[in-house]
């Protein structure tokens, strides 16, 4: 099919055009779209994507998003060490402008927003509108919410007020175009800005846990692209960032009862194709659980890297 150009109107001496393509009926049917439906468009070199607003389901929509939220609400103590990691390595300062990638239901967002204070700004992004709705409910004046349908392939419009720092934990392994995303980050960060990313790295026990258990039992599967230190270094090099410094974190998630670990992971990872008991069994084998005092600790070995805009 060809793109057809048609003049649509003349206004104050300027001509305006619209472009048409003939879409085969079969394609519309397969997409469950109808005549008259309102579409949004995203563009990339050589590619246009048309989609119905609020209908493009993301991996973290529906039951997956609901269970994720429930896990965090039911076990608010479990991830306290994650917050300490954010405070230590991102160390948000009053008045800064920070972008959070894959913010989910806002586990870190409310803490970051408090540390930035009323003069600061937190821009939270996620591909799932349902996850972002939870962040809107926090009702914080210094938080802006944006949806990336596929962060990395889309332009983030932050040209005027560039950011001081970028934070992302446990999200970027869902992104297949990391190099494109770093191109964007390079454009929207100030000179000297820090990028702090904590995520799952290939070869780690966490990667094993996700590939062996979550991919099999998660309601929406788990097809992802884990990081390697070499690749992280290459995309920093290619996009004007300093050589990243890596930290293999020794995070432990904390629970009152051993069974809670199974319930937490069952919900957090939407592993509805198995049982909480099996989730606990699998994780004990791969990640390891220890009892200290009255609490149980689950190893959660993320790797974090920091790089600065040159
Ligand atoms: C495991 S959750 C982590 C959420 C949050 N950072 C936390 O630690 O609780 C991963 C999040 O990444 C989001 N995500 C997946 N693909 C993404 C993309 N391409 N761009 C931005 N966010 C994405 C998901 O919707 C989900 O909310």
CATH of the domain at 264: 3.40.50.150
Among 202, 299, 309, 246, CA closest to 89: 246
| 185 and 302 share one domain | yes
> Is residue 48 in some structural domain?
yes
- Report helix, strand or coil for 254: strand
Cα separation, 269 vs 70, in Å, equals 11
Work out which ligand 1 atom sits closest to the CA atom of 268. 1
> Is residue 261 in some structural domain?
yes
pLDDT band at 42 (very low <50, low <70, confident <90, very high): low
- Measured from the Cβ of residue 80, the count of other Cβ atoms closer than 10 Å reads 11
Task: Reply yes or no on whether the pLDDT at 247 is more than 80.
Answer: yes
Mutate-to-test residue for ligand 1 from 174, 200, 218, 264, highest number of ligand atoms within 8 A of CB: 174
| 74 and 176 share one domain | yes
- Up-side HSE of residue 15: CA atoms within 13 Å toward CB? 5
Work out which ligand 1 atom sits closest to the CA atom of 150. 19
Which of 32, 52, 72 terminates a domain? The answer is: 52
Summarize pLDDT for 145-197 with one digit per residue, the tens.
Answer: 776 655 454 556 666 568 999 999 999 999 888 988 898 899 889 999 999 99
pLDDT of 265: 97
| 153 and 77 share one domain | yes
Mutate-to-test residue for ligand 1 from 135, 150, 171, highest number of ligand atoms within 8 A of CB: 171
Listed in sequence order, the residues at least 6 apart from 201 whose beta carbon sits closer than 8 Å to its beta carbon are 207, 226, 227, 228, 229, 303
Percent of the chain whose predicted confidence (pLDDT) is above 70: 91
**Summary mean pLDDT of the chain:** 89
| 48 and 192 share one domain | no
Ligand 1 cavity residues, CB under 6 Å: 58, 60, 101-104, 107, 125-128, 131, 148, 150-151, 169-171, 174-175
pLDDT of 243: 98
Question: How far is CA 270 from each of CA 4, 44, 258, 291, rounded to the nearest angstrom?
Answer: 45, 32, 19, 25
Stated pTM of the model? 0.84
Residue nearest to atom 17 of ligand 1 (CA): 127
| 232 and 291 share one domain | yes
- Report helix, strand or coil for 238: helix
> Is residue 57 in some structural domain?
no
pLDDT of 57: 63
Residue pair 149/155 in contact (Cβ under 8 Å)? The answer is no
- The residue range of the domain holding 38 is 4-52
């Amino acid at each position: 099919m060809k793109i057809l150009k048609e003049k649509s109107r003349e206004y104050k001496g300027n001509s305006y055009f619209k472009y048409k393509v003939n879409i085969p009926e079969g394609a519309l049917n397969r997409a469950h779209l109808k005549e008259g439906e309102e579409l949004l468009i995203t563009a990339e070199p050589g590619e246009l994507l048309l989609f119905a607003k609020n209908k493009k389901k993301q991996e973290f929509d529906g039951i997956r998003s609901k269970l994720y939220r429930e896990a965090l609400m039911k076990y608010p103590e479990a991830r306290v060490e994650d917050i300490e990691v954010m405070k230590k390595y991102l160390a948000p300062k009053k008045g800064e402008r920070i972008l959070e990638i894959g913010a989910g239901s806002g586990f870190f967002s409310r803490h970051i927003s408090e540390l930035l204070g009323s003069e600061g700004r937190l821009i939270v992004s996620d591909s799932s509108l349902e996850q972002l709705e939870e962040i809107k409910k926090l009702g914080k004046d210094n938080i802006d919410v944006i949806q990336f349908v596929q962060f990395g392939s889309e332009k983030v419009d932050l040209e005027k007020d560039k950011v001081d720092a970028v934070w992302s934990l446990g999200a970027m392994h869902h992104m297949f175009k990391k190099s494109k995303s770093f191109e964007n980050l390079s454009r929207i960060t100030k000179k000297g800005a820090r990028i702090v990313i904590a995520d799952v790295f290939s070869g780690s026990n966490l990667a094993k846990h996700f590939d062996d258990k979550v991919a099999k039992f998660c309601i929406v599967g788990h097809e992802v692209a884990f990081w390697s230190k070499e690749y992280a270094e290459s995309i920093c090099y290619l996009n004007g960032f300093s050589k990243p410094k890596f930290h293999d974190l020794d995070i432990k998630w904390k629970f009152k009862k051993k069974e809670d670990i199974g319930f937490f992971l069952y919900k957090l990872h939407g592993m509805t194709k198995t049982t909480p008991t099996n989730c606990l069994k699998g994780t004990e084998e791969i990640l390891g659980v220890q009892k200290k005092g009255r609490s149980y600790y689950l190893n959660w070995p993320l790797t974090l890297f920091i790089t600065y805009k040159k």
